[in-house]
Amino acid sequence: MAKQKKFIFVTGGVLSSIGKGIAAASIGMLMEQRGIKVTMIKMDPYLNVDPGTMSPFQHGEVFVLDDGSETDLDLGHYSRFVEKAYFTKKNSFTTGRIYDAVIRRERAGGYLGKTVQVIPHITDEIKKHILEGSDDADLTIVEVGGTVGDIESLPFLEAIRQMRADQGAANVLFVHLTLVPYIAAAGELKTKPTQHSVKELREIGIQPDILLCRSDRKLPKDVKDKIGLFCNVPGEQVFSAVDVSSIYEVPLYFHEEALDEKIGEKLGIWTGRPDLSKWKEMVDKIKSPSGEVTIGIVGKYTDWRDSYKSLSESLIHGGVANDVRVQMLYIDSEEIEQGKNEDLLRSVDGILVPGGFGERGIEGKIKAIEFARKEKIPFFGICLGMQLAVVEFARNCAGIPDAHSAEFKPEGKSNVIDLMESQRGVSDKGGTMRLGGYVCNVLAKSGSKATKAFAAYGKEQVTERHRHRFEVANKFRPQLEEKGLLVTGRHVSKIDGTELVEMIELANHPYFLGCQFHPEFLSKPLAPHPLFSSFIKAAVDVGGKTQKKLKGIG
């Protein structure tokens, strides 16, 4: 007889960005540490089929999975917190994808002439996606995007209401994250926002089982009891979700509050206590490091930090690996382009140029790369950052002064960055993208020395995740390599057998490395990505020694 699946549905109220993703990921981490096979799903209420074409200013970063799925940034949180789960396209879906599936089925005659409606057809499709995403896990944690009260979320909320009837009340748990603000003028915590949020949920037929109350302080028992009384929830099922200095403290705090024990009890899952010793050790290193480095992140989405969420977390992980705190200094590449912010580049221990799309700020990034190369500052270029490092090297070291990328100068004669031949003429934006996991062959040695790539990975073949449509143009490679550009990572295309550049380095530099892929999508707090660990180590070893000698840009 098949084991009965268990489900936890996490909703949020009062306001957006309250922390549902971290809360859901923390619950997943705790239950996994108790020996439960966990998976997680994110349901987003917007009509885009996926976030792939959305501006980072609208929705933050796009998190890419091995299968090439472009997903919500909360999948990144899940990946960093839940160690053993393997996420695919099934673990993230939107209203747009649900409606697209239903409309396609209707056009194909799949509903046999019936009137297609939100209930039952849209809600049935949502439930179908949830069950498919649960795969063979014992416990599926589903985060409902948006805020209770938003019209967009109603089909999702109705679907999860039905799930309790479908799966049995003992197998479904509703967790609601809400806000309990402290009003300084009154000198007290206010429970009314939580009361109204739960009232909204109950009006559509969902009675939360557990309340997570976001606040800047721990809720005293009398406040929990008051919330429980007005929200029809026992006071022992009302938990504090306090603000913490690091998101990685959240599961430890939840465990102290015995949230995981209560979840196990409510769902009838009997387990041993979790071993959180390694997690605690990691959090201690984040809170009390032995040193500090400053990394300058040169980009154009610097006003919206969620655009670089996985990147910033990966730098923290690299700091943990080296027992240092990583201070991140976001530097607007457009301002560098205008001759501003040069003093900021002088102040950092390492320079990172991340990925991105569009021409804005490109020359500023190239200036920052030139600065790092000339002044021997540890440099790490990711995706577009690597491509622009090749452009900068071509212009200033390889005798190709008009070198550029076909992304920004399509008719250029010296585009050292270009589309693969197989991608030319493809009009669909997604059709030209190299998305998901690809094998990279790592060069072990250059001459008698190990390459920085091999020193970091310790092996000659790795798989990394990609999200781009332009590549280093192979016709320029001999000229670039002759002048000292090392190609230390390669991929052989399955499309046409073309060898594609995956990683580049400079041998006569303390640390100058670029990669075509996105290593930040694979970094975890307990398993920092090797390239971030090696970059931060270089910033520790080299950065402080070179800062005082810095001059100017260009």
Residue of 272 and 477 predicted with greater confidence: 477
Span 316-352, pLDDT tens digits: 999 999 999 999 999 999 889 888 777 889 899 999 9
Span 205-223, pLDDT tens digits: 999 999 999 999 999 999 9
Domain assignments of the chain as residue spans, ordered by start: 6-280, 289-549
Predicted confidence at residue 122, as pLDDT, reads 97
- Which of 84, 85, 61 lies closest to 71, judged by CA? 61
- How high does pLDDT run on average in the chain? 92
Please tell me the least confidently modeled range out of 58-67, 110-119, 250-259: 58-67
What separation in angstroms does the CA of 9 have from each of 184, 206, 211, 324, 528?
A: 33, 11, 12, 37, 30
Predicted confidence at residue 270, as pLDDT, reads 83
Residue 504: pLDDT above 70? Answer: yes
- Which of 289, 214, 208 lies closest to 250, judged by CA? 214
Span 133-165, pLDDT tens digits: 998 999 999 999 999 999 999 999 999 999 999
Span 58-74, pLDDT tens digits: 667 899 999 999 999 99
Predicted confidence at residue 553, as pLDDT, reads 43
Q: Which fold has domain 289-549?
A: Rossmann fold (3.40.50)
- Residues with active-site annotation: 383, 518, 520
**6-280 and 289-549 agree in CATH topology:** yes
What is the average pLDDT across 431-444?
Answer: 89
Residue 106: pLDDT above 90? Answer: yes
Alpha-helical segments (H) within 448-493 = 452-457, 477-482
How far apart CA 364 and CA 388 sit, in angstroms, is 10
What is the average pLDDT across 31-45?
Answer: 96
What is the average pLDDT across 498-514?
Answer: 95
- Which of 476, 477, 391, 468 lies closest to 423, judged by CA? 468
Predicted confidence at residue 1, as pLDDT, reads 47
Predicted confidence at residue 287, as pLDDT, reads 95
The percentage of residues in the chain with a pLDDT greater than 70, rounded to a whole number, is 94
Predicted confidence at residue 305, as pLDDT, reads 62
Residue 422: pLDDT above 60? Answer: no
User: Which class is domain 6-280?
Assistant: alpha beta
